[in-house]
Amino acid sequence: MKNFSGKVAVITGAGSGLGREFALTAAGLGMKLVLADVQADALERTTDELLGQGVEVLSMVCDVSKGAHVQELADAAIARFHGIHLVFNNAGVGSGGLIWENTEADWEWVLGVNLWGVIHGVRVFTHAMLECARRDPDYEGHIVNTASMAGLLNAPAMGVYNVSKHAVVSLSETLYHDLQLVDAPIGASVLCPYFVPTGIHQSHRNRPEELKPEMRATASQMAAQALTSKAVESGKVSASDVSRITFDAIRDGQFYIYSHPQALGGVQERMEAIVQGKNPPDPYAATPHVREMLRSKL
């Protein structure tokens, strides 16, 4: 996708973090925006800011874990702007702790947003975009699914999150191949950010009441939360930087998008271990103090 001006971008998780930066970048390129978030006050702030700049914006409170909500979002986008060209399936939440200590509610919440949110986005918006392409011979579109470096690596005490993001990488690769198979004028990318200062380490603020934990957090869950918070808050690559990198990748038709390409050394070690039939390498081999800090809190 090369041309953005006058086109329509749909962004989930648009109230803050990466989603907000995608919206600001898209607005700067002259795009019309459809913004969604489960957090109404954050969504309103982003919407008001963009409306104040004269941007055409449609915003909806949307729980992406619910397919009906995502369908309503797509229907509203078509009704308002008569087309969809760029989709960011970006909404996400974080969770940690030893994998056997995560409750059914933990799994349902994280997979509901991180995985089912992307599944619904791909299922609903790809259909809508293909219909747009049938009506416009010059149509070009693109879908970006937000995964994580945790979709390519497996750090301990992050099991639920790791599983959700690995699935998003697989889903995105399959989407890319399927679009290629039918010669669709739609590109696909998977975004794998590492530690970027966003609000994901505070995502429990939006956890639905019916999925909130019944018991106090375990030692491993508190340790994982503290470690993630420190890593996210100290990140040197900003959400604005990631947005710029992402839009450059969309222009270039690049599938894999990384905020921290230096982290790919760990991915290479993991892949080599898989090919050679070795045991999984230590993801903290280069930073043993992190492993010891985590272990000490257990």
Q: Find out whether 62 and 2 touch, Cβ atoms under 8 Å.
A: no
Q: Which residue has the tokens 């599944």?
A: 119
On the 0-12 / 13-18 / 19+ scale of CB atoms within 10 A, 262 is exposed
- Catalytic site residue from 139, 161, 176, 194: 161
Identify the CA nearest to 148 among candidates 197, 204, 86, 190.
Answer: 190
How big is the chain, counted in residues?
298
Residues with Cβ within 8 Å of residue 53, at least 6 apart in sequence: 27
Q: Find out whether 188 and 179 touch, Cβ atoms under 8 Å.
A: yes
Kindly report the backbone phi and psi dihedral angles of residue 186, in degrees, each rounded to the nearest multiple of 5, phi listed first: -130, 125
In the numeric block, which tokens belong to residue 279?
A: 């045991």
- Per the DSSP assignment, residues forming a β-bridge with 122 are none
Please give the single-letter amino acid code of residue 63. D
In the numeric block, which tokens belong to residue 123?
A: 């299922």
Per the annotation, the verdict on 258 as an active-site residue is: no
In three-state secondary structure terms, 2 is coil
First and final CA of the chain: distance in angstroms?
A: 48
Identify the CA nearest to 19 among candidates 78, 80, 86.
Answer: 86
Alpha-carbon gap, residue 240 to 287, rounded angstroms: 27
Identify the CA nearest to 118 among candidates 153, 70, 72, 160.
Answer: 70
Catalytic residues: 161
